[in-house]
Structure 1
Amino acid sequence: MSGRLTITVNDILKAKNRIHSCVHTTPVFTSSTFDESYGRKFYFKAENLQKTGSFKARGALNAVTLLKEGESPPKGVVTHSSGNHGQALAWAARMRGLQCAVVAPNNSPNVKLDAIREYGADIVICDPTPTSRQETCDRIGRERGFHFVPPYDHPDVIAGQGTLGAEFLEQIPELDAILVPTSGGGMVSGIAIAAKALKPDLKVFIVEPNGKDVEKCLRAGERLWPNPPRFLETIADGIRLQQLGHVTWPIIRELVQKDVFSVTDDEIMKGMRFAFERMKLVVEAASGAGIAAAMSERLRQMDAGLRHVGVILCGGNTDIDRLPWYPTPAHS
């Protein structure tokens, strides 16, 4: 499927109207300290303050609403998720009166699993591999008659995530670039479609954990990742999938910059700590990756014309008893 041909900015604007009454218009934060330290004007889009604690609420609610309003709405939905999409889908299903099951790997953070349960979904644990996640999800779908809503690789999910880009540009129209932490690519695809339609000169950059190798694939113009798909070793559990999706890949290849920001766990922790200590914002490690990219020497060396840079704080679902800079859980 060619994602670029099936999703347009009109789909995103329709999604924005469809979900706006149920999701937050999240605030944008600035830090003069950060700007002075890193030499540009930065704008931090706080999706950590979104419903369910991440941007995923946007895509999940758009997809579930369209299912519910369809000719033959299912009795439930199912997905696989390490946490944020699972929470978002469970919340969206409850909002629209559908059942929900979430297939989660056995190493998912407890704080995210607890939240999924609190939103009313059933959790089915699987092995921590992309193949096991999908096979378990397919089985649950067959057994219960639930409709599969992918975490990222679906036009309705991508359109919902794209509302983030449209909203960000309404708030900060002078943006020259946006840094987007990326796993399967649903958020960066949606943002890129919105941004390129509304402001064609705006540059969208992927932020990844080391080992994802998106830049190599973008420069070659083809998928170079080994199969089967695998997860990367990183503290940023929200962006640990190595491969981009098959629907998101052609969109990203066409619309996203080939320069990619790869960050280490130490850099991610530094970004997280800045958000906690100086901005007073609770963010998860994937958000810390975006801040790390804003701090990077690579950005400092880029075109000085990129004066106004957006950073997506994609989520805030972190276990405060297991913050990554502590070797063991905190005890009172």
Structure 2
Amino acid sequence: MTGTRLDLDRIRAARHVIDPVFLDSPLFRCDPLGHRLGCAVSIKLETANPVRSFKGRGTELVTSQLRDGAAVCASAGNLGWALGWSGRRRGVDVTVVASRRAPAAKLDRIRALGTTLELVDGDFEAARERAVELARQRGVRLVEDSLDVETCEGAATIGLELVDRVSPGDAVLIALGGGAMATGVGHVLKELAPGVEVICVQPAGAPAMTLSWRERRVVTTDSMATIADGVAGRFPIAAVLDDLLQVADDAVLVEEASIVAGLRLLLEEAGVVAEPSAALGVAAVLEDPGRFAGRHVVTIVCGGNADMDAYRRWAGF
């Protein structure tokens, strides 16, 4: 495989650094969901950990290098909670910058850790600009999700947990935002299970990375509109795109109605409360059932930090 920034030996070694509470997350065949979707479906449940998302795998690697240090990050919520959790465990002083529009539940959980939280007007990109400024002013580590290879290689440990459970012809559906999970899991699968199709899924309302993958160059967007806040960005990172081009077989866009339908199906048929970003894989099958008919599909449920008032509206109760 053409090289990426990631390294399989480092990914394997990461399992000895990451707190075991984030490793070996549940992976199970969900026949009721598969019956509804017309294919065999396995769920990789990345919500069964203290921060309810896969982000802790990467922040464990970052903070292992910063014991008793300090770090700043921009976050839509999940990275900030994970970095705060890992930072508290290792004595790292963490500041999180987030948009005021971020889900209140995610912001409350960051505050509950005692992590410093600064809110800004605008979207995630405004938070990213402020985080860069703070890190420069303070002379501390700026943690940039997806750009920092540790965040990708932490997420890649999910791939190590999948390779013995997939076969050639299977498809693994991965939510695509900044690209850490997609490049990480994709790298491992292409190295160790090359016959498996790696499909990235992004909301049509926040399509920048998918458009970039299709055109093989960075494509930015002026705005974004999606309930899947965890994958909503407008400015793809060139180095991450280069990695993604090596490991993704396809990148697809899905509509908001399909994301909501995916949330409902995960709740009704799997008993899983997922945030919108985590329902993207199910949404992709709903929009193109013929592509997946009769196949084995693995969907990574990457987070469960939904705003519950909004979730009740989406789920219809």
TM-score, normalization by structure 1: 0.87
Paired with 2:212 and 2:133, the residues of 1 have a C-alpha distance of 32
Identity, in percent, stands at 27
Change (3 A) 1:292 1:90: same
Aligned counterpart in structure 2 of residue 279 of structure 1, from 254, 270, 284: 270
Q: Is residue 160 from structure 1 mapped to residue 160 from structure 2 by the alignment?
A: no
Q: 2:232 aligns with which of 237, 240, 258?
A: 240
Counterpart CA distance in 2 for 1:326 and 1:31 is 22
Please report how far the alpha carbon of residue 231 of structure 1 lies from its aligned counterpart in structure 2 after TM superposition: 5.0
Cα deviation 1:40-73 (Å, max 9, x = unaligned)? 21111111223301001111111111333xxxxx
Sort the Cα spacing of 1:82 and 1:213 in 2 relative to 1 into closer, same or farther, 3 A: closer
Q: 1:174 aligns with which of 163, 167, 170?
A: 167
Q: Distance in 1 between matches of 2:101 and 2:178?
A: 19
SS at match of 2:305: coil
- Whether 1:322 and 2:317 are equivalent positions in the alignment is no
- Specify the alignment match of 1:302 in structure 2: 291
Q: Secondary structure at the match of 1:48?
A: coil
1:227-268 Cα offsets, whole Å, 9 max, x none, are xxx55200111111134322210011111013x221111111
Q: Which amino acid aligns with 1:221?
A: R
* SS of match in other structure, 1:310: strand
The alpha carbon displacement at 1:28 in A equals: 1.5
Q: Which letter maps to 1:142?
A: R
In structure 2, the CA distance between the partners of 1:111 and 1:130, relative to structure 1 (3 Å rule), is closer
Cα displacement (A) at 1:147: 1.0
Contact kept in structure 2, 1:24 and 1:51, CA below 8 Å? no
Q: 1:287 and 1:5 mapped to 2: Cα distance? A: 25
Q: Does the 8 Å CA contact 1:154/1:247 hold for their aligned counterparts?
A: no
Q: Distance in 1 between matches of 2:284 and 2:315?
A: 24
User: CA 1:244 to 1:166, structure 2 compared with 1: closer, same or farther past 3 Å?
Assistant: farther
2:280 aligned residue: 289
Q: Is 1:6–1:155's contact at 8 Å kept on the other side of the alignment?
A: yes
Question: CA-atom RMSD, angstroms?
Answer: 2.4
Q: Cα deviations across residues 46-102 of structure 1 (Å, max 9, x unaligned)?
A: 11223301001111111111333xxxxx62111000100000100110111111100
Aligned partner of 2:254 among 249, 253, 263: 263
AA at the equivalent of 2:94: C
The 1:225–1:4 alpha-carbon spacing in structure 2 relative to 1, beyond 3 Å, is farther
Measured at CA, do residues 303 and 33 of structure 1 come closer, stay the same or move farther in structure 2, by a change above 3 Å? closer
Structure 1 spans left out of the alignment, 5+ residues: 69-73
Separation of aligned partners in 2, 1:134 and 1:323? 26
Shift of 1:35: 1.8
Q: Secondary structure at the match of 1:163?
A: helix
Consecutive unaligned residues of structure 2, counting only runs of 5 or more, are none
Q: Match for 2:92 among 93, 98, 117?
A: 98
Post-superposition offset of 1:168: 2.1
Task: Decide whether the 8 Å contact of 1:179 with 1:294 is kept in 2.
Answer: no
Query: Mapping of 1:176-255 within 5 angstroms?
Result: 176-211=170-205, 212=207, 214-226=209-221, 230-255=222-247
Which stretches of structure 1, 4 residues or longer, exceed 4 Å deviation after superposition?
213-216
Partner amino acid, structure 1, of 2:306: T
- 1:283/1:197 CA distance change after superposition, 3 Å: same
| Distance across 1 between alignment mates of 2:261 and 2:97 | 31
Could you say what secondary structure the match of 1:59 adopts?
helix
CA displacement, residues 162-200 of structure 1 (integer Å, 9 cap, x when unaligned)? 111111224x14372210111110110000111111111
Q: 1:108 to 1:8 in 2, by over 3 A?
A: same
Q: Are 2:176 and 2:182, in contact at CA under 8 Å, matched by a contact in 1? A: yes
Where in structure 2 are the equivalents of 1:37-56 lying within 5 Å?
Answer: 37-56=36-55
- Structure 1 distance, partners of 2:247, 2:272, is 31
Are 2:98 and 1:107 equivalent residues in the alignment? Answer: no
Match of 2:145 in 1: 151
Measure the CA separation in 2 of the matches of 1:138 and 1:223: 20
Which residue number corresponds to residue 62 of structure 2?
63
CA displacement at 1:327 relative to structure 2: 11
CA offset digits 1:246-302 (Å, max 9, x no partner): 2210011111013x22111111111101112221111101112222113222xx333
Structure 2: how far apart are the matches of 1:326 and 1:207? 20
Contact 1:269/1:324 (8 A) holds in 2: no
**CA–CA distance in 1 between the matches of 2:246 and 2:186?**
9
The 3 A distance-change label for structure 1 pair 184 and 214 is: closer
Which whole-Å CA distance do the structure 2 matches of 1:231 and 1:187 have between them?
23
